[in-house]
Amino acid sequence: MRHQRVINHLGRTSSHRKAMLANMAASLILHKRISTTTVKAKALRTYIEPLITRSKEDTTHSRRMVFRQLQNKEAVTELFREISPKVAERPGGYTRILKTGNRLGDNAEMCIIELVDFNEARLGAETKTTKTATGRRRRAPKKKTGTTTPPPSTESSQETQTIAPAQDILPENKEEPPESSTEGKESES
């Protein structure tokens, strides 16, 4: 029986699996999002989240422990300089897995794994929705009756007042305008 054996071996030896997860974690840290299979992304999530949690405390010991796992100086520097300040208040859940469908060659389920605080498009959409959509609806505030400010479009209302009486003056019978009668006199002479 395989009770409490939760690690997914991914069809690889232990050394191959550790090297693959270290490379994928370094790529995720450097590029902020990578495309991979869903099974590998779930294994990567359990691998990288403790490293990000350790990076919140910037000490020599924690840097050495993270470097021991990643084996990539640039990724460790990026993790401690840029990622850890952004996730300092987050209690966990630093990654997001977005499923993208199946791969054409072998029908493997594909996904994108990304760092949560580094998706600018999604962050912009979330801030817009949180500002506009609230939990409760309110009525519009009532207008005060004793306002001293003039109406905003006084010029357009004056123009419509001058145009409206001119339309009333026009004759209903539009067969021949009055100017055409002068033309007729010229043709007679």
| pLDDT of the residue at 33 | 95
| pLDDT of the residue at 141 | 72
Contact in structure between 115 and 105 (CB atoms under 8 Å): no
- Chunked mean pLDDT (size 10), the chain, 189 residues: 90 96 97 96 97 96 97 96 94 96 96 91 69 62 66 52 50 56 54
CATH number of 14-117: 3.90.1030.10
b (16+ CB within 10 A) / e for 152-171: eeeeeeeeeeeeeeeeeeee
Q: How far is CA 80 from CA 61, 65, 69, 141, 184, in A?
A: 13, 12, 14, 49, 94
| pLDDT of the residue at 140 | 72
Distance CA 109, CA 41 (A): 11
Q: Would the pTM count as exceeding 0.95?
A: no
| pLDDT of the residue at 157 | 47
Spans of all domains in the chain: 14-117
